[in-house]
Amino acid sequence: MADHNELGKEGEEMAQKWLTEKEYTILQKNWRYGKHEIDIIATRGKFLHFIEVKTRKDSKLGHPEDSVTRKKFKSLQKAADEYLFRHPGHPWIRYDILAITVYPDPEREPEFFLIEDVFL
């Protein structure tokens, strides 16, 4: 597996743990509809959250959240529409981006930056 794929998988595992600590209930990970994917589907309070997780090794190449393009967001929306069709009854939804920056220094904790209620 390529390094960036391993980092992505590691980031999604860190995201799940972080979200759980923040009182989110994880419903699905890597939910797919055709070529579209939602990294994490979770609930918190009255909201159903569709969460795109982006992980980078440091911010030299830009912040992780900067890599969520309009095309990627539209793909997330298509998958979310299908999820809602198959699992009706969620009147309150949000699209979120969870950006994780991992540093080469093992003493430095990863940084988590949650952008809630995104619309591109």
Count of Cβ atoms closer than 10 Å to residue 99 Cβ: 23
**pLDDT for 117 beyond 70:** yes
In a domain, 117, yes or no: no
Range of the domain at 42: 3-111
User: What does pTM read for this prediction?
Assistant: 0.91
Mean pLDDT value across residues 31-39: 97
| Of 4-13, 78-87, 97-106, minimum mean pLDDT range | 4-13
The model's pLDDT over 44-87, given as tens digits with 9 standing for 90+, comes to 999 999 999 999 987 677 889 988 999 999 999 999 999 999 99
CATH number reported for the structural domain that contains residue 91 in this entry: 3.40.1350.10
Q: Which residues, 6 or more positions from 83, have their beta carbon under 8 angstroms from its beta carbon? A: 28, 31, 33, 38, 41, 50
Round the CA-based radius of gyration of the chain to a whole number and report it. 14
In a domain, 120, yes or no: no
